[in-house]
Structure 1
Amino acid sequence: MAIYESEHTKFMREWLKAHPEELEVQRQGRALWWDKPQDLKETAANTASSVKNKAYYYQNEV
């Protein structure tokens, strides 16, 4: 029994074989937004300084 592979997945595999330079562009784009070093102290400070939301956000205070 064969494992299903969508037409899009097949297209992308073939396209990346024909254009291997795009993998480097993909890595650069990912590094631009996601692959950043994490500062645990800064993350903890951001979490501690957040304001808790109300149970029902749109409720008016009377």
Structure 2
Amino acid sequence: MPKFTGYVSDHTKFIEELKSKTPGMEERQQEGRSLLWDKLPISLDEEARTRESRLRQNAYPYQNKF
């Protein structure tokens, strides 16, 4: 099955142009990603402690109990 290599979308052109104009952008993206997503796995004991320490919330927190 042949690949079509002649077409480049406007989005791809924009991203390539943006990357060429702003050096270091990909490194900053990786740093930002690592802050939010690349977390070390936690142990099962720590996960159980976290689960047990959560406060239970009522289904309707704004309803007063009479």
Structure 2 length-normalised TM: 0.59
- 2:4: which partner in 1? none
Q: After TM superposition, where is structure 1 displaced by more than 4 Å over at least 4 residues in a row?
A: none
Q: Which residue of 2 aligns with 1:48?
A: 52
1:37 corresponds to 2:64: no
- How far apart are residue 56 of structure 1 and its match? 1.0
Report percent identity of matched pairs. Answer: 35
Which runs of 5 or more residues in structure 2 are unaligned? 1-8
The number of residues matched between the two structures is 55
**Cα distance in 1, alignment partners of residues 49 and 57 from structure 2:** 18
- Looking at CA atoms only, which structure, 1 or 2, has the larger radius of gyration? 2
Q: Which runs of 5+ in 1 are unaligned?
A: none
| 1:22 maps to which of 19, 25, 45 | 25
Q: What is the one-letter code of the residue matched to 1:31?
A: S
CA root-mean-square deviation: 2.2
TM-score normalized by structure 1? 0.61
